[in-house]
Structure 1
Amino acid sequence: MAIEITDDCMACEACVETCPDVFEMNDDGDKAVVKDPESELDCVDEAIDTCPAEAIVRS
């Protein structure tokens, strides 16, 4: 399942801090992006659980 960031992202950087191997901020710094959409790292689930905007989804 691919990891995606929805338009609900509020650029809080929680996912980047929790799982920097998978998430980073875009060039404008106004949205997180997924570097490794197929990642199976445990920190992805933690990032999903801690996202205040619930903007990280698996599809």
Structure 2
Amino acid sequence: MNATVNENCIGCGLCAGVCPEVFSMGDDGFAHGGEVPAELLDTAQEARDGCPVSAISLSD
């Protein structure tokens, strides 16, 4: 499973705060996703669902 962050990101940092193992804030001020280990799927989904601009996608 992979997490991606699209151009809607406003750089609020919520995802990185909820699931720092998957999401990080880049030097560009925006969030970046990555590979989602199976044991962190629930937390990554929580970050996705909490995103105020629906910028996060989870896909296989």
Scaled by the length of structure 2, what TM-score is found?
A: 0.82
Identity %, equivalent residues: 40
Name the structure 2 match of 1:32: 31
Q: State the alpha-carbon separation in 2 of the partners of residues 56 and 14 from structure 1.
A: 11
Moved over 6 A (4+): none
Name the structure 2 match of 1:3: 3
Aligned length: 57
Give unpaired runs (5+ residues) of structure 1. Answer: none
Give unpaired runs (5+ residues) of structure 2. Answer: none
Give the RMSD, CA atoms, in angstroms: 1.3
Bigger drift between 9-18 and 38-47 goes to 38-47
Q: Is the 8 A contact 2:13 2:25 kept in 1?
A: yes
